[in-house]
Amino acid sequence: MQSPECPCSGAAQRAARPEFFRLGPGDIAEVAELERQCFSTPWSEEQFRLAFERKVFSVFGLRDAGRLAAYVAVYHLAGELEILNVAVHPDARRRGLGRRLLAILLQVGAKMGIHRAVLEVRTGNAPAIGLYTGLGFTRAGVRPHYYGDTGEDAIIYECDLTDWASRDPGCCPAASTTPTDPGAD
Ligand SMILES: CC(C)(COP(=O)(O)OP(=O)(O)OC[C@H]1O[C@@H](n2cnc3c(N)ncnc32)[C@H](O)[C@@H]1OP(=O)(O)O)[C@@H](O)C(=O)NCCC(=O)NCCS
């Protein structure tokens, strides 16, 4: 059976090759600033600090020309990856960075034996839904009126990572290097 098309084709391939890295508590000010630029109800620095105290919490990013251009925050629990937040700097959108960041995360996760990724997204967030479905996420459920600020529903998406481990590592160079542990159980 043919493997699915690599997510690093198209827009992602056209993007520059920014550096994939794991953020730590020392990066909280920078990631919280990006969070403020991307969300109406951003996580505070204190929320990041408390989250980093949990072993299951990790944040990964793409650094482009010295700047944090994109990040994803996750929980890794019982063989599953829960994607909490994904954001790309407003100046850097539609260049394939969001897709590239998630593709690397899912490939690294699959190689480490994580079998499933899940996330929630607002019904009206078309860019994010396009990003997730383009990567192979499928709708798994809905939480009615989940978001307190707008009353919007949350759609739950999931992705089976089985295929991700067998994708051609050559097309995602950062993922073919030594995996960075996305957090222990
Ligand atoms: C959602 C987000 C992370 C996408 O990042 P991005 O780097 O611009 O996305 P990419 O360039 O990798 O695009 C990947 C796919 O996402 C979809 N997409 C991204 N932006 C889109 C837009 N403005 N409108 C429609 N679809 C869009 C498309 O399907 C796109 O594939 P294509 O380029 O082949 O059409 C970015 O818009 C963002 O940070 N939004 C604010 C924060 C947020 O809502 N995060 C998600 C909820 S936690």
* Domains, the chain, ordered by start: 11-176 (3.40.630.30)
Atom of ligand 1 nearest to the CA of 85: 48
Q: Tell me how many helices (H) and strands (E) the chain has.
A: 5, 7
Q: Is the CB of 73 under 6 A from ligand 1?
A: no
Q: Is the CB of 179 under 6 A from ligand 1?
A: no
Report the separation in Å between the CA atom of 133 and the middle of ligand 1, taken as the mean of its atom positions: 11
* Residue among 131, 137, 157 whose CB has most ligand 1 atoms within 8 A, to mutate: 131
Q: Is the pLDDT score of 95 beyond 60? A: yes
pTM above 0.75, yes or no: yes
Q: For residue 16, what pLDDT is reported?
A: 52
Is residue 157 among the annotated active site residues? no
Q: For residue 17, what pLDDT is reported?
A: 76
Which residue has the CA at smallest separation from atom 37 of ligand 1? 127
Atom of ligand 1 nearest to the CA of 125: 44
Percent of the chain topping pLDDT 90:
76
Is residue 80 among the annotated active site residues? no
Answer whether 8's CB lies under 8 Å from 172's CB. Answer: yes
Q: Which amino acid is at 151?
A: G
Q: Is the CB of 88 under 6 A from ligand 1?
A: yes
- DSSP 8-state secondary structure symbol assigned to residue 172: S
**What values do phi and psi take at 122, rounded to 5?**
-65, 140
Cα 169 to Cα 15, 103, 115, 116, 132: the distances in Å are 18, 11, 18, 19, 20
Q: Is the CB of 180 under 6 A from ligand 1?
A: no
b (16+ CB within 10 A) / e for 42-81: bbeeeebeebbeeeebbbbbbbbeeebbbbbbbbbbeebb
pLDDT 10s digits, 108-127: 999 999 999 999 999 999 99
pLDDT 10s digits, 3-43: 344 555 555 444 457 899 999 999 999 999 999 999 989 99
Average pLDDT of every residue of the chain = 86
Q: Is the CB of 89 under 6 A from ligand 1?
A: no
Q: Is the pLDDT score of 149 beyond 80? A: yes
Q: Is the pLDDT score of 180 beyond 70? A: no
